[in-house]
Structure 1
Amino acid sequence: MGKTALIVIDMINTYDHKDADLLLPSVTSVVPVLTGLLERARQKDVPVIYVNDNFGEWRSHHGELLEHALAGPHAELVEPLRPDRSSLFVVKARHSIFFDTPLTYLLHQQGIERLVLSGQVTEQCVLYSSLDAHIRHFDVVIPRDAVAHIHADLAEAALRMMERNMGAQVCDSRELWA
């Protein structure tokens, strides 16, 4: 097995969007799990890469996105997950972490072959990112308790699709870097 990276998808967020009310309960349960996963990954020197929507703010950078989210009404969901000095950050425009981003180049440059996908939204960005990782020949791991969803039934279906159709390993976060 090659070098692994923890990918944190879209967790730097103001939750000022149409599906936020449906998403927030799941995010609230995922934040403590993801916080623990981040701590364990950092203790084991696993690279942590945040890939985050820019929310149409084309003049912003990751620091401004973080400041904006921390100034928002749900800062308590962002603060525990904030990137540290060793974290890498890639800004994306659409659902997949790979779509029009330099992520593939970055992963190859770092010698990373296995991706642990965490964050939100299971049935959208995580699913599309898993497919794109699969077609780029990366091994994919999805800790089911470290991904947030809008619709539980669609999230469960997405996890099954990632496992069956894309060969992703679906597990509990406690199985990683224990």
Structure 2
Amino acid sequence: MGKTALIVIDMINTYDHADANLLLPSVAEIVPQAATLLKRARCNDVPVVYVNDNFAEWRSHHGELLAKALAGPHASLVEPLRPDDASLFVVKARHSVFFETLLNYLLSQQGIDRLVLCGQVTEQCVLYSALDAHIRHFDVTVPRDAVAYIHADLADAALRMMERNMGARLCSSGELWSTPH
């Protein structure tokens, strides 16, 4: 039996994009649950992998992306979710966490076959990542209260698609791992 990793999608963010005003209320709502989920994963020695858009900053690395987000007007949404020293980090340029990244190789090297996806955007990056995980034979879990959306109706449809078409387990973040000490 393999092991599980928590995949944090696009949460290191300046929110300087076209849909930000529609996204921000949902992000603010999920940050506390996502922060608790991160703490639980870390307390239970579950590997945490941040997979984050590079926002077309082709010369940047994860430290620069984090510094820019923490210096921005929405730092309070990033700070509770910041990577720790044990966190792994993969930079992506498109919607799926797998598309032209080294994530699949990293996961195979770690013996990981189950993924918990949290982050944003449910009806975009989370959905496409769940599909790509499914076709790579990963078991996928999505905690509903730890994924943010732009459009609630599309997010609901995306979650139903993940469950029905990809066999994803939907749950609340509180159902995952033991309570942090």
Give the TM interval when normalised to the shorter protein: over 0.9
| Whole-angstrom CA distance in 2 between matches of 1:61 and 1:126 | 22
Task: Report the equivalent of 2:116.
Answer: 116
Task: Report the equivalent of 2:71.
Answer: 71
Q: Deviations over 1:70-103 (max 9, x none)?
A: 0110000001100000000000000000000000
Task: Report the equivalent of 1:103.
Answer: 103
| Whole-angstrom CA distance in 2 between matches of 1:99 and 1:52 | 12
Give the deviation of 1:2 after TM superposition.
2.3
Unaligned runs of 5+ in 2: none
| Whole-angstrom CA distance in 1 between matches of 2:28 and 2:12 | 13
Task: Report the equivalent of 1:43.
Answer: 43
| Whole-angstrom CA distance in 2 between matches of 1:82 and 1:130 | 23
Give SS of 2:118's match. strand
AA aligned opposite 1:120: Q
How many positions carry a matched residue from both structures? 178
Task: Report the equivalent of 1:156.
Answer: 156
Aligned-residue CA RMSD in angstroms?
Answer: 0.5
Q: TM-score, normalised by structure 2?
A: 0.98
Q: Structure 1 runs of 4+ off > 4 angstroms? A: none
Task: Report the equivalent of 2:53.
Answer: 53
Task: Report the equivalent of 1:20.
Answer: 20
AA aligned opposite 1:10: D
Task: Report the equivalent of 2:139.
Answer: 139
| Whole-angstrom CA distance in 2 between matches of 1:177 and 1:97 | 23
AA aligned opposite 2:106: L
| Whole-angstrom CA distance in 1 between matches of 2:18 and 2:134 | 29
